[in-house]
Each structure stands twice: as C-alpha cells, then as structure tokens.
Amino acid sequence: MNKTLSALTLALGLVSAASQATIVEFQTSHGNFKINLYDEGTPKTVENFLSYVTEGKYDNTIIHRTVDDFVIQGGGAKFEGALPPKWIETTGTIINEPVYSNVKATISMAKQGGKINSASSQWFINLKNNASVLDPVDPYGGGAYAVFGEVIEDGMDIVNAIAEVERCDTKLSGFRELPMPDYKDSCGDTSAIPGQENFVTVYNVVIYDSTVNTAADLSPTKNTLYKAVPDKPKSSGGGGSFTWATLLLCALPLAFRRFKK
C-alpha cells in the first residue's frame, strides 16, 4: 500500500511540475528559441498553451503567417503533403487575459475578430512594439490580445530570421502571407508540389525549465490601454476551426498594411 501511495505521489508531483512550467523551447526548422511564460500573471492562457504543448498538438505545425515589421503567427496549421495546409484540432476557447502589453519579443494569443474571449491554439510573436494597435480593444476586435510570455536570451535572432523568409501569397497556397522557404519560383505553379522543407516547421514545443519562479526576474510591461467591452453577439451562421485562418486582426486588414515596410 505504501509503495502504491509513493508511486501515486510521484506521479502527481510530475504532473504538477509540468503544469507549472514557465520556460518552453520552440524547436524549429530555422533554429530553436525559448519563451518564458507569465504563468502567474496569465494563468488561464498559460494553462491552455501548455495543454497543447503536453499533448503534442503543436508538433510539426508550421508558421502559417508572417507580416513585415509586425508579427509571426503559428500554432494552428500543419502541412500534410498538399496545399493548403490543414488546421489542427482545437479544444475550445479561453477567457481573455489582457494583462500585459504587446511590446517587442512578447508572445500573445490570436483570436477571432470581434470576439474577445475567442483564443484557442494560435499564437503570435510581436516583432516590434505593437502596443498601440494590439493593447486597446473595440467592439470590432481591434486589440486586447493577451500576452502570456516573452522570448528570452537570443531567441529573437531566430524569430527575426523566420520573419525574413520569403512568402507565397497566392490562392494556390490557401493562406495569406505564408512563409515558404526555397519556393519562390514555384509559388504560382499549379503543378508544383511542395515538401516539408518548403515550410517553416515547428517540430516540437518542449518544456525546458519547470521551475515555478523562472519569471521572477522579468519585468513585463503592463497593458495600460485596455478597456473592457462585451463580446459581440454570435452570428447565426456556422463556422468551425476552418474559419480561423484570419484569426489575427481579421477585422483590421488595413492595420496590417500600415505596419509593412
């Protein structure tokens, strides 16, 4: 009986350590980078993100969108041998936690335009200080994106390298602003078949450090522009996971263009 209890205690301890992990490592086709999660400041968002990590749902996903001098976005799609890439299965939406500011090198959750509490699996990393656009909120979905961690060490070198990958922005790819390495000459060719090497692939997201207080020395910038408003009423139409291709600021396309070089 004592051995059984000891084994159970050990198992529970391992689960607890995993759930409280605060540093994760993204292992990608373009290099690895680490992110320190704000597990105390945004607990629901971190818990949701880590559930996708521990269940392996981010494994072999792709960076499916990059916007010059703005963001890179992933956590939503996989390449399965043909275009367009396929959306991954999600586990529902979470409550928004717009505690911190969308400054450079922070990671946030993407969401559906016009719906405050609609984040699911997709995330984005800010390439510059996007606070003025992403920290406020209005009834049409323009902001209040929940920051839940920051890129640490020299990780932004990798993130910036991903942002510089040439994009295949055509109907053929099925995605707007899809980074596709070494695919420029085939981007508009309907007979071309890309391989996994033609995508920026996130092979794994792994727990790097499960120490609870790894964020103790961080000083995340608070979101001072947020003003809560209620969600827009849900429409009577359908729409499932396949409607999430334009999660990030889909209601503000002109804002994207403003931030392009």
> Between residues 205 and 20, which one has the greater pLDDT?
205
Helix boundaries (H) for the chain: 2-19, 43-54, 131-134, 155-163, 253-258
Q: What band does 250 get if pLDDT is binned at 50, 70 and 90?
A: very low
CA 9 to CA 244: how far, in whole Å?
40
Q: What band does 27 get if pLDDT is binned at 50, 70 and 90?
A: very high
Residues 6+ apart with CB under 8 A from 32: 25, 26, 158
Q: Dihedral of the CA atoms 167, 172, 173, 177 (nearest 10)?
A: 40
Strands ordered across the beta sheet of 86-87? 65-67, 71-74, 123-126, 106-109, 147-151, 31-37, 23-28, 201-209, 61-62, 77-78, 86-87
Quick one: average pLDDT of 4-31?
A: 61
Helix (H/G/I), strand (E/B), else coil: 25 = strand
- Alpha carbon 160 to its chain's center: 15
9-18, 156-165, 212-221: segment of lowest average pLDDT = 9-18
**What was the pLDDT predicted at 22?**
85
| CB distance 54 to 184 below 8 Å | no
The structure's pTM equals 0.80
Say whether pLDDT at 197 is over 80.
yes
Share of the chain above pLDDT 90, in %: 59
Overall size of the chain counted in residues: 261
Q: Write the pLDDT tens digit of every residue in 104-133.
A: 999 999 998 768 899 999 999 999 999 999
Q: Which CATH architecture has domain 21-232+242-258?
A: Beta Barrel (2.40)
- Alpha carbon 200 to its chain's center: 14
| CB distance 65 to 218 below 8 Å | no
**What was the pLDDT predicted at 31?**
98
| CB distance 169 to 84 below 8 Å | no
Please provide the average confidence, as pLDDT, over all residues in the chain.
81
Say whether pLDDT at 4 is over 50.
no
- Selection from 247, 243, 208, 199 nearest residue 53 by Cα: 208
Quick one: average pLDDT of 159-183?
A: 88
**What was the pLDDT predicted at 160?**
98
25 CB burial (10 A radius; 0-12, 13-18, 19+): middle
Q: Which two tokens stand for residue 104?
A: 């450079």
Say whether pLDDT at 12 is over 60.
no
Half-sphere exposure at residue 142, Cβ-oriented, CA atoms within 13 angstroms: 12
Q: Domain ranges in the chain?
A: 21-232+242-258
Q: What band does 143 get if pLDDT is binned at 50, 70 and 90?
A: confident
Instruction: Provide φ and ψ at 115, rounded to 5°.
Output: -125, 110
Strands, E assignment, the chain: 23-28, 31-37, 61-62, 65-67, 71-74, 77-78, 86-87, 106-109, 123-126, 147-151, 167-168, 178-179, 201-209
**What was the pLDDT predicted at 21?**
55
Q: Write the pLDDT tens digit of every residue in 203-239.
A: 999 999 977 677 777 899 999 998 766 555 554 443 3
CA 206 to CA 193: how far, in whole Å?
30
**What was the pLDDT predicted at 113?**
72
